[in-house]
A and B are shown apart, each in its own frame.
Chain A
Amino acid sequence: MSRISKAFFTALWFMLLTLPVMGIKLNLMENRVDWRLDRVLYLGVAAFFLSMLWTWLFSRKKRNLPLIKAPAFIKIDFYGLSANRAVRRGFFASLILGLIAVPLLASFYQTNIMISAMLYIMLALGLNIVVGLAGQLVLGYVAFYAVGAYAYGLLHQYFGFGFWICLPVGGILAALFGLGLGFPVLRLRGDYLAIVTLGFGEIARLAMLNWTSLTGGPRGISDIPRPGFFGIPLNINEATIYIYYLALIAVCLTVVVVLRLKNSRVGLALQAVREDEIASEAMGIDITRAKLSAFALGSCWAGFAGVIFAAKTTFINPASFTFMESAMILSMVVLGGMGSISGVIIAAVILIMAPEYLRAFSEYRMLIFGAIMVLMMIFRPQGLVSGEKRDYQVSALARKEADAQ
């Protein structure tokens, strides 16, 4: 009973709280006030049930129970399956085949959505290197994306360079920017780092906006060419399909590189730095080098994605590179699970695809992103798929202990 009364008062509180902003709509043309009390009432009803859910989830969290239990009849042993090599190979092969078939079966529009989903997968995986593996919260990630896109746009505009030259150049430039940002912020940690990188991202955007003579300011750069296919001009449909395959290859490459990186010496060093900076320094890890390589690697992928983005849209302006974009990429990493590759990919696909196919959802997209970031931090900070931590066992020691018992 106390739960219900608590939920009731919470609902009342929220109705009161949202009364001015939700309830009042000014109609200054006709000089009257439209009271939208029905909305406030709906909100109160929603708040009532959400509050019940909230307390219930908390009680489960406190008792360390899983928040959502899958019903028994769909209990498939995913871990057992994913450990089976044949099943895994079959799954990935069919996934790749399916992805290769997409542009042949789907419409132009859907292919375009798939391309942007893949760009975001690249971005999210790149940010995952910095945030997930190295534990450095970077809020201005979109700046590196912009560096890539503008590198292609400007190099084409002033020197007539093509896509294939600009792709590596954009990546390298973004990596250099990452290093340039990395050096001064090495000493900073946690929230200060986050703020400085946010400031950096905003400065980059404002510079693009105000340096009109170079970047065209708010008008941006238009008529960026799509990549040519060995000198054969393509029409817009063919070019989109071509870019789709390029993006697919780029994503596969990213996944492979990040997978290899994760278990490499550098990757392990990054994870050690994430867990404890001082301890890892004591173990002989060069923190400066580890952090800088994380920054450079992470921003490099954003640069590649930026070049492909510019080639896809053929038009770029600073409005595409706002803080909200950084926040969206960050929420993919957070939702997917920091450090987990498959989780981040799933989250990126969900967050890009859902607004496209659920039109009603698209209006509330950013609202839901915000809520997701809060709720994930509270109820499942490890994300959808928790990044597997390596588990070490000293086998000799374990045996000895077993013998002793």
Chain B
Amino acid sequence: MDIQFFIELFFGGLTRGSIYALIAIGYTLVYGIIELINFAHGEIYMLGAFTALLVAGALGVYGFPTESILLISALVAVIWCSAYGFTVEKIAYKPLRGAPRLSPLISAIGMSIFLQNYVLLAQTSDFVPFPRLLPPMEFLEYIDYIMGPSDFLILIASALSMGALTLFIRFTKMGKAMRATAQNRKMALLLGINADRIISLTFVIGSALAALGGVLIASHMGQVNFGIGFIAGMKAFTAAVLGGIGSIPGAMVGGLTLGLAESYTTGYFSGNYEDILAFAILILILIFRPDGILGKAKVQKV
């Protein structure tokens, strides 16, 4: 076996996997608290990529220096997508608290279709090129066959943001409130936690991470389209389920596992089947071990 090729695939998988993990965290957070598969989450990721593209393009036209453009556009994308996540929750999910379980799911599917077509109508149905914003990094030169500047950025940015999230959940008061709400919403309400605000916060955090993922992947792949959210969302959801939905470390493990699995299948077999692989993993996991790698088995109560 060619060891260099193996390593190359490993890092390719890692890059991919950390993006999946970033999006998967949004699914897992929301599912952990209101047991809803937030179908529109993939679209938030797409909106993030699109917002960053538009802002970066506009800044480029007005002649901002390249280094600041990526930072500003990423920041704008993250802020705006948090707002989108917040709004989506207020419109499509909040009125449905306490409704039968399928109602919010159908509402989420509707929201996803709506957002996709909103971008399609407001912008374009074509693939739009994402400007090259990353400066070449000299210290990466002698390993450039494994890692380009964008891979490096993805690994660093996702590791940092996931680390920050873990610290936030574990050590801040808000994080504690989130964990309490996830464990038992009624009890949390009784203890004076504003559950509505926690749910909104969950959506904001999840959307911010998804937007970050969107910006990173857009600068990595170099093009954006209104439809990229669906497949990315499905894969991230697969990652969340793979790791055990509701668990944050699970989402990270699941994302990396899925990324590596995809990378190796593409490298050693064929790229045609990479999407099928993700869906097949999803189905097998849901059928045979619905609690994922790190999840705890739930006992069904009557």
- B281 CB, nearest partner CB in chain A, Å: 9
Please, how many angstroms separate the alpha-carbon atoms of A39 and B122 in the complex? Answer: 10
- B133 CB, nearest partner CB in chain A, Å: 14
Chain A residues with Cβ below 8 Å from B287 are 184-185, 187-188, 196
Which residues of B are interface residues toward A (Cβ below 8 A)? 35-37, 47, 50-51, 54-55, 57-58, 61-62, 76, 80, 83-84, 87, 91-92, 95-96, 99-107, 109-123, 128, 230, 234, 237, 241, 272-273, 275-276, 279-280, 282-283, 286-287, 290, 302
Interface flag for A370 (CB, 8 Å): yes
Chain B residues with Cβ below 8 Å from A39 are 122
Chain B residues with Cβ below 8 Å from A135 are 102
- A39 CB, nearest partner CB in chain B, Å: 8
Contact A33 B280 (CB under 8 A): no
Contact A21 to B276, CB < 8 A, known contacts A367-B117, A373-B109, A377-B110? no
Please, how many angstroms separate the alpha-carbon atoms of A196 and B37 in the complex? Answer: 12
Interface centre among A13, A199, A278, A369 (most CB of B within 10 A): A199
Contact A370 B114 (CB under 8 A): yes
Contact A381 B103 (CB under 8 A): yes
Contact A378 to B276, CB < 8 A, known contacts A26-B57, A137-B102? no
Chain B residues with Cβ below 8 Å from A32 are 61
With both beta carbons as reference points, the residue of chain B lying nearest to A190 in the complex is identified as B101
Contact A203 B280 (CB under 8 A): yes
Contact B122 A22 (CB under 8 A): yes
Interface flag for A107 (CB, 8 Å): no
Identify B37's interface contact among A33, A185, A195, CB under 8 A.
A195
Please, how many angstroms separate the alpha-carbon atoms of A139 and B283 in the complex? Answer: 13
Number of interface residues of A (CB under 8 A): 58
Which residues of A are interface residues toward B (Cβ below 8 A)? 13-14, 16-18, 20-22, 24-26, 28, 31-33, 39, 58, 135, 137, 139, 184-185, 187-188, 190-192, 194-196, 198-200, 202-203, 206-207, 210, 278, 323-324, 327, 330-331, 334, 363-364, 366-367, 369-374, 377-378, 381
With both beta carbons as reference points, the residue of chain B lying nearest to A61 in the complex is identified as B95
Contact A327 B51 (CB under 8 A): no
Please, how many angstroms separate the alpha-carbon atoms of A339 and B180 in the complex? Answer: 39
Chain A residues with Cβ below 8 Å from B286 are 188, 192, 195-196
- 22 of the cross-chain contacts (CB-CB < 8 Å) are A17-B80, A20-B55, A24-B57, A188-B287, A191-B36, A191-B105, A195-B282, A195-B286, A199-B234, A199-B279, A203-B283, A206-B275, A210-B273, A330-B109, A364-B117, A367-B118, A369-B110, A370-B114, A370-B117, A373-B106, A373-B109, A374-B91
Extra A-B contacts (12), CB below 8 Å, given A199-B279, A381-B103: A20-B55, A21-B47, A24-B57, A33-B57, A33-B61, A190-B102, A196-B286, A203-B279, A373-B109, A374-B111, A377-B110, A378-B95
Contact A373 B107 (CB under 8 A): yes
Contact A21 B87 (CB under 8 A): no
Chain B residues with Cβ below 8 Å from A372 are 110
With both beta carbons as reference points, the residue of chain B lying nearest to A43 in the complex is identified as B122
- A55 CB, nearest partner CB in chain B, Å: 12
Identify B61's interface contact among A22, A31, A137, A195, CB under 8 A.
A31
Chain B residues with Cβ below 8 Å from A21 are 47, 50-51, 54, 118-119, 122-123
With both beta carbons as reference points, the residue of chain A lying nearest to B282 in the complex is identified as A199
Chain A residues with Cβ below 8 Å from B120 are 366
Chain A residues with Cβ below 8 Å from B116 are 366, 370
Identify B114's interface contact among A25, A195, A374, CB under 8 A.
A374
Contact A378 B107 (CB under 8 A): yes
